[in-house]
Amino acid sequence: MKAELIDTIDSVINDKSAFAAMNAAKTAFIGEPSELPINGTHEMAEKVNPRSAYAAYRKLLSTGHVEIMAAGCSDFEESREIFTKAFAALNRDPEAICKPRRAPSALKAEPVYVTDKMPMQQAILRVYLKTNEDVYRYANKMFGVILGGMTTSRFFMNIREKQSLCYYCSCIPATISRTLTCYAGVEPCNIKKAEEAMLAEIRDISENGVTREELECAKRELSESYSAMSDSASSLIQWYMGQITDGDFISPEEYFGEISKVTAEDVRKIAAKYSTDTVYVLMSEDNDD
């Protein structure tokens, strides 16, 4: 099992996007838990032995905050009884998860630029922006969708379709860490152009805001996706699992209720808060920086 864990950790190099994300995080989140790969490092895995693994397992059972999700055609009474009986046999002293859950990542005084090289054809660009101010969660979500999270997003329409700079160009806003991660696969000769194009879109939104059409399209797209969640038990479970760290335990419908209140000015204000923290490039050894 230890060997397979090490295989899983090492095999991140097989997926260039995941490898770029892992390497970029070391700089973007230096000194924070987020700088670590999700499965830990090769060195950490090497140190695990049967005694330490068992101790960690016992600690998890004793202090871990446990959430059990069930969705589907049952009242789950039988499941509740089984789980209650199983956990009653343990001595538990679970740690509480802080609510609201916030782990802001500090914005660097000056942007840091990192380039890694390996044999590959396409370059991968990751731009991390952060803010030291609080972000309005729902406006942050809308900003992410309008900027790079839907098929008519700024990134898709302007950077991919109009400028033909990339096949994929997207972004993920994270309210917990106050971070906006923008990423794209680009030709090595277009790295700088793509970076500038991403920042230009964010600057444009911060100065000029978003159009009413963009706002309404984003809300319609989110409304559709939240409405469809009830068709799938696994989608519903995934939704509520995500709510654990968000701090508010609300339904997709309630979430959308908050989203629908977001205004264009809310989105503009969010965009204006972000500044560049880290720019990371993974590219071929054959190309110049």
Partner 1 sequence: MTEKIYDEIIRETVLKYVTESGVTVYMLPMKGSSSAMAQIGARFGSLDNCFSVNGGEVVNVPDGTAHYLEHKLFESEEKDAFSLFAQTGAYCNAGTSFDYTKYYFGCTTNFAKNLDILLSFVKDPYFTPENVEKERGIIGQEITMYQDNPSWRVFLNLIGGIYSKNPVRNDIAGSIESISRITEKTLYDCYNAFYNPANMFLTVAGNFNPDEVIEVCEKRLSGGKPLKVTKPPVDEPEGVFQKKVELVMPVAKPIFEIGFKEKWENPAAALEDYVSYNILFDSLFGDSSDFFERMRGRGLINEEWSPSVSSGRGFLFPMLHGEGENPEAVLEEVQKVVRDSKKNPPSKAVFERLKKSTYGAMVKDYEKSSSVASTLMDAALSDLPPCSAIDAAAASDYDDMLRRLDSLDEENVCISIVKGE
Give the residues lining the site for partner 1 (CB under 8 A): 3-4, 7-8, 10-16, 118-122, 150-152, 156-157, 160-161, 164-168, 185-187, 217, 220-225, 227-228, 230-232
Token pair of 134 as six digits: 């609080």
Smallest gap from Cβ 68 to partner 1, in A, equals: 21
Write down the least CB distance from residue 166 to partner 1, Å: 6
Cβ-based neighbour number of residue 135 at 10 Å:
23
Decide whether 114 or 157 has the Cβ nearer to partner 1. Answer: 157
Minimum distance of partner 1 from residue 150's CB (angstroms)? 7
Packed helices 212-228 and 264-273: angle between N→C axes, nearest 10 degrees? 90
Tell me whether the omega of the peptide bond preceding residue 33 falls within 30 degrees of 0, making it cis: no
Nearer to partner 1, 130 or 219 (CB): 219
What lies within 8 Å, CB to CB, of 266 at 6+ separation is: 136, 138, 139, 142
* 71 neighbors 237 (Cβ within 8 angstroms): yes
| Nearest residue (CB) to partner 1, 4 versus 78 | 4
Q: Which two tokens stand for residue 179?
A: 């971070």
| Alpha carbon distance 127, 276 (integer Å) | 7
Question: Smallest gap, in angstroms, from Cβ of residue 163 to partner 1?
Answer: 9
Nearer to partner 1, 15 or 286 (CB): 15
Closer residue to partner 1 (CB): 139 or 150: 150
Residue 226 C-beta: closest distance to partner 1, Å: 9
